[in-house]
Structure 1
Amino acid sequence: MLLLRLFFTYVKIGTFSIGGGYAMIPLLEKELVKVNHWLTMDQLVDIIALSQMTPGPISINSATFIGYKLAGIPGSLVATGGMVLPPILMILLIARFFFRFQELPVLQAVFRGLRPMVVALILAAGVSFARNALIDVSSVVILVSALFGVTLLRFHPILVILLSGLVGLVIYLP
């Protein structure tokens, strides 16, 4: 029963994850933390962080990790399958028709409406993560420093990840 619920939960997430991995985080929070109570928000934040650091798309990595946590290898396979099935079907459908109809004003209007929604979902994910990640003054300093490093100093994201991890070791290791 868990595997079936896991599959259909990820089919739902995969169907409505317009905008990529970060845009799906509010859906993950709603379905996995609030509706099914399979994870705490802290666990979800940790899994998303791990998914971001490992090779591959964040959506597939997180589905694999969460599926494994809930039901071992079968859970990994089911969650990942549920996550990739809708986008594969959508891509096949879009590939068939998009280039033929991309210049239609109605289609262009739909995409103009979807772009800000994707930004909103990414910002919502950021706010949700901030509630759980910003636990003290040190975590706020790490956030501001990382943001400054990536946006203004144009540090490579890998360097920022490594430096933030090192700072975390120094500050938080007992």
Structure 2
Amino acid sequence: MIYWQLFLTFLNIGLLSFGGGYAALPIIEDLVVHQEHWLTLEEFSHLITISQMTPGPIAINASTFIGTQIGGVGGAVAATIGCTLPSIIIVTFLAYLYHRYQKLSLMQDTLFILRPVVVALIASSGLSIFINAIWGNERIIWMDPNWLMLIIFSVAMFFLNKFKANPILIMLSAGLVNIIYHAL
């Protein structure tokens, strides 16, 4: 039963998430954390972090990790197939349409209009994860942030934007800083 439920949940995510993996994160969060209560927001944040560190699309990685967490290997297979099946069908159909009608101004206008919506979806998920990392449990207490996480975030943003640093090195460095901090 859980395999079928995972398949249907991630089929829904696959059908409703337009704009790539990052745009799917708010939908995944809503269904997995808030509706199904399979994971806490903190567990979801951890899985998203792992999904970003591993090769491949983040939404597929997240579905695989969440499926494993909920239903083992069978859950991973069910969630991953559910997440990818709509994309396979829709992308094949859209590739045909785009190839056939790519010069139409309506096609170009539609794609142009969808860009800000995708950015908003990505920003929404990023903000939710940021709040959880700095304040925890989606509640902002301005005077009581996790200062270590806030400093790591600020330094990482600085190096990523100013020097275009390698994200893998940034993640490894942040992990090393956290290990050293907790060892002291």
What is the TM-score of this pair, normalised by structure 2?
0.90
Q: 2:116 maps to which residue?
A: 116
Q: How many residues of Structure 1 are paired with residues of Structure 2 in the alignment? A: 174
Match of 2:174 among 128, 140, 164: 164
Shift of 1:172: 3.3
Q: 1:19 maps to which residue?
A: 19
Letter in 1 for 2:100: R
Give the whole-Å Cα distance in 2 for the aligned partners of 1:35 and 1:44: 13
For residues 49-91 of structure 1, give each alpha carbon's deviation from its aligned partner in whole angstroms, at most 9, with x where no partner exists.
0011112211111111110111111101000000100000011
For residues 128-162 of structure 1, give each alpha carbon's deviation from its aligned partner in whole angstroms, at most 9, with x where no partner exists.
00111114111111101001100112211111111
What are the ranges of 5 or more consecutive residues in structure 1 without an aligned counterpart? none
Give the whole-Å Cα distance in 1 for the aligned partners of 2:126 and 2:182: 22
Give the whole-Å Cα distance in 2 for the aligned partners of 1:32 and 1:116: 25
For residues 8-40 of structure 1, give each alpha carbon's deviation from its aligned partner in whole angstroms, at most 9, with x where no partner exists.
110111112212121111001110011111110
Give the whole-Å Cα distance in 1 for the aligned partners of 2:18 and 2:99: 19
Shift of 1:173: 4.5
Q: 1:52 maps to which residue?
A: 52
Q: 1:148 maps to which residue?
A: 158
Shift of 1:167: 0.9
Matches within 5 A, 1:90-129: 90-129=90-129
Higher mean C-alpha deviation, range 36-45 or range 154-163:
154-163
Shift of 1:171: 1.9
Cα 1:151/1:10, change in 2 over 3 Å? same
Give the whole-Å Cα distance in 1 for the aligned partners of 2:90 and 2:7: 17
Shift of 1:42: 0.3
**Secondary structure at the residue paired with 1:155?**
coil
Q: 1:138 maps to which residue?
A: 148
What are the ranges of 5 or more consecutive residues in structure 2 without an aligned counterpart? 136-145
Give the whole-Å Cα distance in 2 for the aligned partners of 1:29 and 1:173: 32
What is the TM-score of this pair, normalised by structure 1?
0.95
Determine what percentage of the aligned residue pairs are the same residue.
40
Letter in 2 for 1:119: V
Q: 1:42 maps to which residue?
A: 42
For residues 86-108 of structure 1, give each alpha carbon's deviation from its aligned partner in whole angstroms, at most 9, with x where no partner exists.
00001110121212212212211
